Structure 1
Amino acid sequence: MSSSPLVLIIDDERNLVRSLELALKGAGIETRGAYDGASGLRLAGEIRPDAVLLDLRLPDASGLEVLETLRKSFPGCPVIMISAHGDTRAAVQCVKAGASDYLTKPFDLDELVHLIGTTIERGRLDDEIAYRRSIGASESVIVGEHPAIARLRELVARVAASNARTVLLLGASGTGKGVIARALHQASGRVDGPFVEVNCASLPEQLLEAELFGAEKGAYTGAGQRRAGLIALAHHGTLFLDEIGELAPALQAKLLAFLESHNYRPLGSTREASADVRVIAATNRDLSREVSDGRFRADLYYRLNVVPIEIAALKDRGADLFLLTAHFAERFAREEGCAPIRIGSAARALFAAHGWPGNVRELRNLIERLTILHPGVEIGAQHLPPEFARPVDAAAPVELPGRLAAAERDLVLEALARTRGRKGLAAQTLGISRHALKRRLKRLRLV
C-alpha cells in the first residue's frame, strides 16, 4: 500500500481495542478506537477511515444498525464485523447488510491483519474501477483511423470477448501497450473485476515474487506480515504484466506453472491457492530471439503467445499523429481547466518531420507539457523542445521534389487532422475529390 491506511475499531471491550491497535500498528496500519456506536459514527465522520472493525453488540446500539448507517454515509468504506458469538444467521444478516467480512472471537491477530490489508487493497481497486468508469475509461480509448489501428481495434474487441486466458502485446516502448491492456479489460466480461498491473522490471526478483504470488510472514527479510499477492487481488479480473521480457528465469517457471494450472503457492507457504485471472503480458523485446538466445523460456513464450497483438509505432500511423495530438490537447485542457492548445503550421510541419522515437508516450508528454506551460496558445516552432529544430545548411543543394512532397504531406495531414480523419471532408478542404485524396495518401505512404 502506498500510504498508511487508517482503520476505525468500534468495540466496547477496551482491552481488545488496545490489543488490536498494537497488532495493526506493528503492521504499519494506523488506528482509532471507539467504545460505542454513537462515538464510532462521529469519529468515522471526522477521520474518514479506510476500513472499520465493528462489534456486533454495542452498549448503545446493535452493530447491524451502525453498519447500515456506515454503509449509507461512507459507501466506499469496507466494514468487517466481529462478534463473540458464532451465529451463522447473524453473519448472513451482516453480509446482506453490506459487511465485507465476519469474524468470530477469538481470532488470530495475524489473520486479521492480513484480512484488513487485503480488504483495503480490494477497496482501493474498486475505487480505481469506479474512477475509470466515471471518466469514461479515457485511458482505454484507442484513438486513430489508420488501417493498422482499425484492425487493432477489431482484434481487441474479438479477443476481449473470447475466453483467452493469456494475451501477448508486442510493440516498441511508448506505443500504448498499457492502453490496449486496459481496453481489453474494459471490453471483456471481467470488467467488474479488478485491473491490476505491475512492471516486471521495477522490482528485484524476490520482491517481485512476493508482489505477484504473495508471502507468508517471515518468508523473507522484511516480511513482517502476511500479504496477498497481485494474482490474488486480480481474482475474476485482469493481471497486466508489463516488460515480461525482464522476468527472471525462476519466476518464468513459477508463472508458467500458474498459467497452466491456475494454482500457485505464496512465498513461504506450504499450501496452494487458486485464482481466476486473465494475464496480459507486454514487451518491447523480440521474445522469439530471446528464446533462441536462451534468455526466455520457450514453453512460457508459447503459452503467452496464444493471442499475440502487435501495436504499430507512431511514425508508421500517418494522419493519426494529428488525431492523437487533438485528443491529448482536449484531454489535458479538461484536466487543467483551460482552453486547448492549437498546433500552428510551423509546429505542425516539425511534428510531421519528427521521428517520434518515444511514440505515443512522447507525444502525450509533450502535449501535457505544452498545455501546462502555454494554456490555450497557438503553438509555434519556438514552443517546441530543441530536438524538433531542423538546422538548415545554406550550402546544401535545394531538393525541390523532396520539399514539395513534404509540403504536400503536411497539407494532407493538416486537412485530416482538422476534419478528425473524415476523408470526404478532408478532400473538400483540399479542393480535390475523395478518390484523388486516396491516391495521394497511398503515394505519400500515409495508409
Structure 2
Amino acid sequence: MSSIKCLIIDDEVQLAKSLSYTLNLSDISCIEAYDGSSGLEALQEHRPDIVLLDLRLPDMSGLEVLAKITQLSLDIPVIMISAHGQTKDAVSAIKQGAVDYLTKPFDVEDLVRLINRTLTQKRLTKEVQYHRKKVISSQTLIGESQIMRTLVADLENIAKSKARTILLSGETGVGKTIVAKEIHNKSDNKNSPFVEINCSSLPENLIEAELFGVEKGAYTGANSTRVGLVEVAEKGTLFLDEIGELPLNLQAKLLTLLESWTYRAVGSTREKKADIRVIVATNRNLEESVEKGEFRKDLFFRLNIIPIEVPALRYRGDDIWLLANCFAERLSSREGCLPLVMPNNIRVIFEKYDWPGNVRELKNIIERLTILYPNKTIIPAWLPIDLRGSPSKSDNIKDAIHDAERELVQRALGECDGKKGLTAEKLGISRHALKRRIQKLGLE
C-alpha cells in the first residue's frame, strides 16, 4: 500500500494521468479530478495527504477551490500548479494558504521532493504542537467558558496567597486533582513537592502511618522508621483527595495538624513541624456529612476558609467541544493514528448531554472511539447509547422509518470511512441517490 495519497486537480487529463503514473513509481498514489467541483468532492471522499491544484480550471478558478479547501479546515497542504505568466496568481495562492507552487513544465523529481518535504514539515509541526499542548494541558486547566475563566482567575489569587488550607468540592470527574495541581504550579512553592493521597484507597489502620510516618518498633512489622507524606511534602503541597472518606479518629489528628502545624509519627512522642499547604477535595456535601455525624464540624470549619467549587462539565458550554478535541489530539498521538474527525452532529449530541461523569467520562469516550475507530469520521451510531439518547419511540410511522433510514446510512458511511462511492455500493443504490438521501436525512 502506498504511504502517501495525493489528489491531482487539473483539467489537462493527459498531464494528470501522466503525473499520476510517475508519482506512483515514487510510492505516491494519486486520485485525479478534472474540474474544481469533482476535486472538492474527491477531497472529502478520499481525504488525501496532499493536493496538487491547477490555477486554471473549467468551472472555477484554482484560487476559489483553494478558498473552499481552507473553509473545510481539513489541514491538507495544497501545492499550486501554474503555467507561465500566472506567477502573480500563484503568489496570491501562497498568501491564501497554499504551501508552494510549481510552474509548468516542471521536473517530477522536484515535485516528489517538494511533496515529501511538505509532509515531513507538516508532521514535525504537528508533533511540536502536540508536545506544546501536552505541556500546557499538563500544567493548566483547559477551558474558555466564563465559568472557567472566573475559576482560573480565582486560582491565580489563591495560589499566590498565604492561605495554607483550601477546600475543593465538585462532582466526581470534574478535575479536582488538576485544580489542586494548578494551585501548586502557580504558587511560589511550585518547585517543591506536590504529594497526593486518596483517603479512600488505604485501609483505616494504614492511613495514619502513610500520612505521619512510623517510628521503628511502633507496631508488629514496623522494622524501620518510615517517613510520612506530610514530611515528604515539606515546603510544598499535600493534596488529600476524597477527604469525606477519612475516618473520624484521623479527622481529629488532621485537625491538630491544621491548627498547630505540628504532628507526631506513629509510635513517636516527638513533635515535628510541618511547613506545607494542605488542599483537600471531596465530591460529598460536607455540611450534610457534619449533620449526619460523619464529619467533624470543627474540621469542616477549619477547611472551609477558602472553598472552591469546581464546575460540572454540563455548565461549561463550548468547553465540552474544546476538551473533546484536545483529548482526541492527545490520544491519537498515543495510539499512533490521526485524530478523530468529529462532525458537527457529534458536537450537537455532546453539548446536549448532561455528562454525569464529567470530564473523566468525556475523556473515556474519546479514548474508546480512538481505539475502536482510528482514522475515521465518527458517527452517532458509534457513541454509547446513553450519550446519543434512546432509540425513537415515535408513534408516527414516517418518523420511525426516517430514524431507521438515517441510522442505516450513518452506519454505512462510517463503515466505508465516509467514502460515498463505496457507501452507495454497500447500500445498493446509485451515488446520486445516496447524495439525495444524505441531504434529506440531514447528514451533510
How does the TM-score come out when normalised to structure 2?
0.57
Which residue of 2 is the match for residue 156 of structure 1? Answer: 155
Where in structure 2 are the equivalents of 1:238-387 lying within 5 Å? 238-387=237-386
Q: Which amino acid aligns with 2:393?
A: D
CA contact (8 A) 2:139 2:181 kept: yes
**C-alpha distance 280-135 of structure 1, shift in aligned 2 (>3 A):** same
Deviations 1:103-147 (A, max 9, x none): xxxxxxxxxxxxxxxxxxxxxxxxxxxxx9995253332111221
Which residue of 1 is the match for residue 145 of structure 2? Answer: 146
Which residue of 2 is the match for residue 13 of structure 1? Answer: none
**C-alpha distance 252-172 of structure 1, shift in aligned 2 (>3 A):** same
Cα deviation, residue 274, structure 1 = 1.6
Find runs of 4+ consecutive structure 1 residues off by over 6 angstroms: 396-399
Which residue of 1 is the match for residue 180 of structure 2? Answer: 181
Q: Distance in 1 between matches of 2:144 and 2:151?
A: 10
Deviations 1:15-63 (A, max 9, x none): xxxxxxxxxxxxxxxxxxxxxxxxxxxxxxxxxxxxxxxxxxxxxxxxx
* SS of residue in 2 equivalent to 1:197: strand
Which residue of 1 is the match for residue 393 of structure 2? Answer: 393
Which residue of 1 is the match for residue 213 of structure 2? Answer: 214
Q: Name stretches of at least 5 consecutive residues in structure 1 with no aligned partner.
A: 1-131, 400-447
Q: Name stretches of at least 5 consecutive residues in structure 2 with no aligned partner.
A: 1-130, 400-444
Cα deviation, residue 217, structure 1 = 2.4
Q: Which amino acid aligns with 2:261?
A: H
CA contact (8 A) 2:134 2:330 kept: no
Cα deviation, residue 221, structure 1 = 3.9
Cα deviation, residue 369, structure 1 = 2.2
CA contact (8 A) 1:174 1:362 kept: yes
Cα deviation, residue 257, structure 1 = 0.5
* SS of residue in 1 equivalent to 2:196: strand
* SS of residue in 2 equivalent to 1:379: coil
Cα deviation, residue 397, structure 1 = 11
**C-alpha distance 256-133 of structure 1, shift in aligned 2 (>3 A):** farther
Q: Distance in 1 between matches of 2:353 and 2:162?
A: 40
Q: Distance in 1 between matches of 2:397 and 2:286?
A: 44
* SS of residue in 1 equivalent to 2:281: strand
Q: Percent identity among equivalent residues?
A: 50
Q: Distance in 1 between matches of 2:293 and 2:398?
A: 50
Where in structure 2 are the equivalents of 1:426-441 lying within 5 Å? none
Q: Which amino acid aligns with 1:393?
A: K
Larger radius of gyration: 2
CA contact (8 A) 1:139 1:182 kept: no
Q: How many residues align?
A: 268
Cα deviation, residue 324, structure 1 = 0.9
Q: Which amino acid aligns with 1:314?
A: L
CA contact (8 A) 1:241 1:281 kept: yes
Where in structure 2 are the equivalents of 1:63-102 lying within 5 Å? none
Q: Distance in 1 between matches of 2:355 and 2:235?
A: 37
Cα deviation, residue 396, structure 1 = 6.7
Q: Distance in 2 between matches of 1:338 and 1:324?
A: 19
Cα deviation, residue 326, structure 1 = 1.2
Q: Which amino acid aligns with 1:244?
A: I
Q: Distance in 2 between matches of 1:305 and 1:137?
A: 30
CA contact (8 A) 2:217 2:224 kept: yes
Q: Distance in 2 between matches of 1:383 and 1:210?
A: 47
How does the TM-score come out when normalised to structure 1?
0.57
Give RMSD over aligned pairs.
2.3
